[in-house]
Amino acid sequence: MQGLWQLFYNMELGLMTVLAAMENHRIHVDKDALKRTSDLLGTKLKQLEQEAHKAAGQQFLVTSSNQLRLVLFEKLRLHELCENKKLPKTVLKQHHSTSEVVLMQLQDLHPLPKIILEYRQVHKIKSTYVDGIMSCMKKSYISSTWNQTGTVSGRLSAKHPNIQAIPKQPIQITRKQYIQGKEPEVVTIHPRSMFITEEGWTFLAADFSQVELRLLAHLSSDPELLKLFQEPGTTADVFSMLASQWKEIPETEVKHADREQAKRIVYSTVYGAGKERLSEILGITADQASQFVESFLQKYKQVRAFTQKTIQQCQKQDRCLSRASERPPEHSEHHPGYVVSIMGRRRQLPHIGAQDYTIRTQAERQAVNFVVQGSAADLCKIAMIRIFTLVASSSTLTARLVAQIHDELLFEVEDSQVEEFAASLKSTMESLQHVEALGVHLKVPLKVTLSTGKSWGSMTEVLDLRSCSH
């Protein structure tokens, strides 16, 4: 296995002890707060269920899409009221879908769809992120299980609980009060705020900013994209800038939601989203969406060149290795095409040369996505090892790695060491622009942002390293 030994020896083997330490660490959870929100969400769900039954004019299981379909389309016949809109059907079953997009379209016609949408949101939060977390708890803490070899891209995954998928955004619940003259009370639920530090310790999170976009700039060498990152100070935040350009509003007017949308658009576009999907995200027509894709790829010309080059290389590997002349036919196995990440990780894509358009183009998008996502995963894993080594070889530092959320490393640090550790952490991570041992020399700098907090849900950015201690 050419090239893979280095990856195994220098990265995966070294990571094992880091993951072991992470699994041994206990993340404290505010059990009382969890119980309170579980009860709160429980009564909210009962309310919504009753509202749904009232709106439907019958009792039914609101969590069942089958029963909902019966109510929505066979009893209320809502699809007949909006034949102007095309309602997507579940594939191959000729049933009407009860998916989010359908319910969104139906919500002006009847009160029920809106209730269902809210029910689903609250139900998900309760079952997975409140009750689910509670069932993972031992005493007053959780420890996730980390899987090093469970993904095709080289990313880590976590389970029991999946700490990488705890909601980032708080949700607002309006609690109806049955006390006379009282306004309905609005409470915000934030699952991340249930994760708290030990007494005398602080969470410190370090994020690689726009890591995949920076890697795309490096991998494609696109001059416009490189410019965005190579001129420090010019661009405060790339996605905010792109949002301001797209929405035609000043960068100071860009809201957090605008930035998030811009981020989705950019990644969707470079990973090959079609105009239909993109128009859904943007809330515009498919024609406008395809115009956006074209103007984006026109401005960042080398991005398309990079995706084409990647697909070609994958096809080339396919042809080379499966050629009969290189191996005796009697021993010929199927050697699918593969692509390689920045540190030599591979992904095989046997369908890269498929006849079927759908199968082939999916493999092409996966090939492109792997090179960028896999390279980002490499970088984050190296960062974990470096930091772990840094702490282990220090006689004073006691910082502990608590979790990895792909581009973010979450540490628990003794209060008195936050400032010192933050500085080393940031410089160690940003120095990964150049990794001599693995031949990595990125054309763009890496940017790490830091934040601190006593709970994971109340992290605030550290803007000045010198003011960290107090």
Footprint of DNA on this chain (CB under 7 A)? 61, 63-67, 90-91, 97-100, 117, 120-121, 124, 127-128, 132, 135, 147, 150-153, 155, 157-162, 164-169, 207, 210-213, 263-264, 267-268, 271-274, 276-277, 281, 362, 365-366, 369-370, 373, 376, 405-408
245/262 Cα distance (integer angstroms): 10
Give the shortest CB-31-to-DNA separation in angstroms.
Answer: 17
CA 221 to chain centre: 25
CB 126 within 8 A of CB 42: yes
Residue number with CB closer to DNA (14 or 274): 274
Q: Which amino acid is at 404?
A: Q
C-beta atoms surrounding 285 within 10 Å: 11
User: What is the closest distance, in whole angstroms, from the C-beta atom of residue 278 to DNA in the complex?
Assistant: 7
Q: Rounding to the nearest 10 degrees, give the CA dihedral for residues 348, 352, 353, 359.
A: 120
Nearer residue to DNA within complex by CB, 309 or 394: 309
Q: How far is the CB of 148 from DNA (least distance, A)?
A: 11
Specify the residue, 230 or 267, whose C-beta has the smaller distance to DNA: 267
Q: How far apart are CA 238 and CA 215, in angstroms?
A: 14
Pair 85, 149: CB distance under 8 Å = no
- Closest to DNA by CB, 169 or 416: 169
Task: Find out whether 241 and 227 touch, Cβ atoms under 8 Å.
Answer: no
Rounded to the nearest whole angstrom, what is the least distance from the CB of residue 49 to DNA in the complex? 12
| CA nearest neighbour of 157 among 143, 142, 146 | 146
For residue 50, CA distances in Å to 44, 45, 66, 156, 259 come to 10, 9, 19, 41, 37
Minimal distance in Å, beta carbon 199 to DNA?
A: 27
CB of 373 to DNA, least distance (A): 6
Write the DSSP string, 5-55.
HHHIIIIIHHHHHHHHHHHHPPEEE-HHHHHHHHHHHHHHHHHHHHHHHHH
Pick 240 or 373: Cβ nearer DNA: 373
Residue 214 CB, shortest distance to DNA, in Å, is 8
Q: Toward DNA, which CB reaches closer, 10 or 121?
A: 121
CB nearer to DNA: give 136 or 391.
136
